[in-house]
Amino acid sequence: METLLRELGHAARGLNRSRGFTAVAVLTLALSIGANTTIFTWASAVFLDPLPGVADSGRVLVVQQKEPGNNEGYVSLSYPDYRDYRDRNTTLSGLAVTRNVMVSLESDGTPQRLYGQIVSGNFFDVLGVRASLGRTFAPEDDRAPGESAVLVISHAFWQRHFAGDANVVGRAVRLNKQPFTIVGIAPREFRGSALGMRLDVWVPVMMQAVVEPGSTRLEERGNRWLEGLGRLRPGVSRETARAELTQIAAQIGAERKTEAGRGRSVGLFPIARSPRGGGAVLGPVMLVLASVVGLVLLIACANVANLLLTRAVGREREMAVRLSLGARRRDLVRQLLVESLLLAALGGGFGVLLASWGEHALQAMLPPTDYPLGLAVGLNGRALGFTLAVTTLAGLVFGLVPALQATRGTTSGALREGSSAVAGGRRRQRLRNALVVTQVAASVLLLVTAGLFLRSLGNVRSFDLGLDLKGVGLASVDLVSSGYDSARGTAFYRELLERARALPGVESVSLVRRVPLGLGGSSSTSFEVEGYEAPKDDPAWAYVNNVGPDFLRTLGIRLVDGREFGPGDDAQHPEVIVVNETMARRYWQGGKAVGGRVRLGDDWVSVVGIARDTPFTSVQEPPGPTFYMPILQRYRPDATVLLRAHGDPASHQGALVGAIHALDPSLAVFGLRSLEDHVQASAFRQRLGSQVLGAFGVLGLALAMLGLYGVLAFSVAQRTREMGIRTALGASVATLLRQVLGEGLRLAVLGVLLGTGLALALGRLVSGLLVGVSPVDPATFAGTIGALLLAASLACAVPARRATRVDPAVALRHE
């Protein structure tokens, strides 16, 4: 220990004396370690601790179903399905269900709009979450619909709204205008079971009809609206549980002969890998970011290793002296490693400071939305442990090779007076060159990936989505909170449409339940198509959306055939739907969809129009079969007003809110934004990718160029005498420039070739995150390579110029 402390002291003194070197090395390491820590805190919040406050969350899995033949993905569970899975399985210690909802909570006369979850009675038990005050739910809360008017609130809401009043348990409140009682406060860390969201209230699933007025889904087996959450029993594997649940699905299908349960499979996913929700959005992009910061760290380590190799030349005599005094090689290696680890520790310390700033950057990059988005990102013990590990690893990686190199040479030459012999000089130069090539290659990989994301982001903006985004403003209303029933709500919609249509500059107005390409999720349903015999293992299904009159016109969606909804498509008239092109093609197979009929539940409804395909959930997914229902016919209380008008949508917001409040001054209006902004939110992954990768790409490039510059500058300095001789022998300025530039650019080109090869090979890993651009996009590759070679030329220019300025008289006197 005494030896270590002494060497630490010497190392600190040595670094203090070489302040320029220390500053560059520490800054390089701080940036890269800070980037790694930041991304670790982000990725940790997604992968390692996706559900804060949940005990052993790694064993909690999302349960979803996949219908045979349905390539569009997994769907949720119906409540009857859930009951069967829950009661028949032996591999899960508990299976709960949830649904994210928005509610209005009134405790002192002022309604609060909150996001929460409808949950089964065993939800908290399955997650292993105990109330910090009062109680959570119990299986008794699942007994009968409408009987458990109780709720649990979040710790944050309790603090925010009730100032932490302990007497709040047992207090009567009104949820969506109905009386409820607060029975418990969730623990501080617990945010609900939706990754990336901070939820404030939990209500028993039996109160669904109160929370979502106008629908009673509990007993509808075909209505899949609940997210399953199961906890694996100890010792049971995910695959075993999945196989058992799939078997139960088959049993259900066999027992209910009309159901398409046969062939249905069940998927069990870790929270962060769920094909829907926050995991689907954040998981893949976090994996890319984690790989990218690893590359940045590699570049930084290569850079510092290069600096240390250069520094080692200046310390060769010191090493020789130490060896002559009886130091063993391992003594010297240890001493040099202490120095590298001290450098790394300084870099790590500053890196943590940078990361403490960077942890908030993710929040700033989240899309503008009303949803309470936010990951539990923080510099906790795990993050600091990671930083310590990365710092130590970095210190060893960049320190070991130079240390071994520095202690490898013979000693006697270096000890002689005036000796300029550099033992192993050529070997070291080769190593330095290899490090620069590695840096350049990694930079190409980074920059190409950033370029691909940037092009994707641009494509999201310019992609032909089948929507005319310009000039459309959005405003959401919450009729649930105000206690509107179906008749009153429909009348409100009808009146609002008329008033808004009359506003100055307005071209058209409509309503929609789910604005396309939002974060609000999707609804799908299965149905029967007249004249179409669905294969037994592939029932007809489609996404469904409730829209107002003039919906297609307002959003600029082309009507391919038939008509769209008008004000007359209401409850007093026969039920109608408009289908998209994919649905028409799939279920009418060349025949005419308009005039066809679809059975939804017990009712037959007629197809009156075909709309152009537009993406519904994500710009990356091919449009699935979709149909629209008139909201004046099938009421939904949670609609968004769409207003197409001349000029900036923001300039019409005030008038629209005024029109809403003229009808009901107490109505909450929220989510005021343009359709363009809304669609941008769907490009969150591309924006996050392009911004973060762009920043890291530039950092990587700067470090690589610094490395290239350093190697060339050192090479020129070492060869001052050679340059002098060449000049004395008549070499022209151009010849010397060509020689040094060629030397540097050779390394850059080698790095570019290696990096391009890697980028071509690894591009498919990010292809799922790209929009409208191939992972081997020639323009992106050409642009990146061009930019990098230009930067490399600039990095080589300074040493090259220095080489041409060598005074032969001075250089030849040298040594």
Partner 1 sequence: MNASNDAMIKLEGLTKVFYTDEVETHALAGIHLEILRGEYVAISGPSGCGKSTLLSILGLLDSPSSGTYVLNNTPVQGLDLSQRARIRNREIGFIFQSFNLIGDLNVYENVELPLTYRGMKASERKDRVNAALERVGMAHRSKHLPSQLSGGQQQRVAVARALVGAPSILLADEPTGNLDSKNGDAVMDLMRELHRAGSTICMVTHDPRFARHADRTIHIFDGRVVEESTEAAAAPALA
Contact positions vs partner 1 (CB under 8 A): 2-3, 6, 10, 13-14, 17, 317-318, 320-329, 331, 410-412, 415-418
* Separation between Cα atoms, residue 388 and residue 398, nearest integer Å: 15
Nearest approach, Cβ of 417 to partner 1 (angstroms)? 5
Nearest approach, Cβ of 39 to partner 1 (angstroms)? 37
Nearest approach, Cβ of 784 to partner 1 (angstroms)? 42
Nearest approach, Cβ of 455 to partner 1 (angstroms)? 51
Residues in contact with 416: Cβ distance below 8 Å, sequence separation at least 6, in sequence order: none
* Separation between Cα atoms, residue 670 and residue 368, nearest integer Å: 12
Cβ density class 422-441: b for 16+ within 10 Å, e for less: bbbeeebbebbbebbbbbbb
Nearest approach, Cβ of 413 to partner 1 (angstroms)? 9
- 325 vs 729, beta carbon nearer partner 1: 325
Angle of helix 425-462 relative to helix 278-314, nearest 10 degrees, comes to 150
57, 272 contact by CB (below 8 A): no
- 243 vs 327, beta carbon nearer partner 1: 327
* Separation between Cα atoms, residue 142 and residue 94, nearest integer Å: 14
Secondary structure in 3-state letters for 520-538: CCCCEEECEECCCCCCCCC
- 54 vs 423, beta carbon nearer partner 1: 423
Cα 578 from chain centroid? 34
Cα 540 to Cα 561, 588, 609, 612, distances in angstroms: 21, 11, 18, 20
759, 444 contact by CB (below 8 A): yes
* Separation between Cα atoms, residue 582 and residue 331, nearest integer Å: 72
Cα 20 to Cα 23, 26, 60, 184, distances in angstroms: 5, 10, 51, 59
Nearest approach, Cβ of 16 to partner 1 (angstroms)? 9
- 2 vs 602, beta carbon nearer partner 1: 2
Nearest approach, Cβ of 427 to partner 1 (angstroms)? 15
- 10 vs 135, beta carbon nearer partner 1: 10
156, 163 contact by CB (below 8 A): no
- 2 vs 108, beta carbon nearer partner 1: 2
| DSSP tag of 408 | T
Cα 4 from chain centroid? 44
- 356 vs 411, beta carbon nearer partner 1: 411
- 10 vs 488, beta carbon nearer partner 1: 10
Per DSSP, the residues of 76-121 read: -B-HHHHHHHHHH-SSEEEEEEEEEEEEEEESSSSEEEEEEEEE-T
Nearest approach, Cβ of 341 to partner 1 (angstroms)? 17
Query: HSE-up of 661 (CA within 13 Å, CB side)?
Result: 11
- 409 vs 549, beta carbon nearer partner 1: 409
Nearest approach, Cβ of 15 to partner 1 (angstroms)? 10
At 790, list the tokens.
């230009």
Nearest approach, Cβ of 717 to partner 1 (angstroms)? 20
Nearest approach, Cβ of 324 to partner 1 (angstroms)? 5
116, 200 contact by CB (below 8 A): yes
Cα 217 to Cα 86, 528, 714, 802, distances in angstroms: 18, 19, 74, 79
Nearest approach, Cβ of 329 to partner 1 (angstroms)? 6
Nearest approach, Cβ of 1 to partner 1 (angstroms)? 12
Calculate the dihedral angle through the C-alpha atoms of 794, 799, 804, 810, rounding to the nearest 10 degrees.
Answer: 160
Residues in contact with 623: Cβ distance below 8 Å, sequence separation at least 6, in sequence order: 580, 581, 582, 613, 614, 615, 616
- 237 vs 412, beta carbon nearer partner 1: 412
Residue whose entry in the numeric block shows the structure tokens 């929270």: 271
- 327 vs 657, beta carbon nearer partner 1: 327
- 18 vs 251, beta carbon nearer partner 1: 18
Nearest approach, Cβ of 681 to partner 1 (angstroms)? 57
The number of beta carbons lying within 10 Å of the beta carbon of residue 381 is: 8
456, 684 contact by CB (below 8 A): no
Per DSSP, the residues of 419-438 read: ----TTHHHHHHHHHHHHHH
Nearest approach, Cβ of 416 to partner 1 (angstroms)? 7
Q: Which of 190, 173, 184, 197 is nearest to 99 (CA)?
A: 197
Nearest approach, Cβ of 422 to partner 1 (angstroms)? 14
At 514, list the tokens.
């789910």
- 329 vs 814, beta carbon nearer partner 1: 329
- 3 vs 237, beta carbon nearer partner 1: 3
| DSSP tag of 603 | E
Instruction: Quote the Cα angle for 163-169-171, to 5°.
Output: 90
- 418 vs 504, beta carbon nearer partner 1: 418
Q: In sequence order, what are the beta bridge partners of 204?
A: 119
Nearest approach, Cβ of 715 to partner 1 (angstroms)? 21
The two most distant CA atoms of the chain are separated, in Å, by 106
| DSSP tag of 378 | -
- 389 vs 421, beta carbon nearer partner 1: 421
- 144 vs 325, beta carbon nearer partner 1: 325
- 1 vs 163, beta carbon nearer partner 1: 1
Nearest approach, Cβ of 310 to partner 1 (angstroms)? 17
* Separation between Cα atoms, residue 161 and residue 139, nearest integer Å: 28
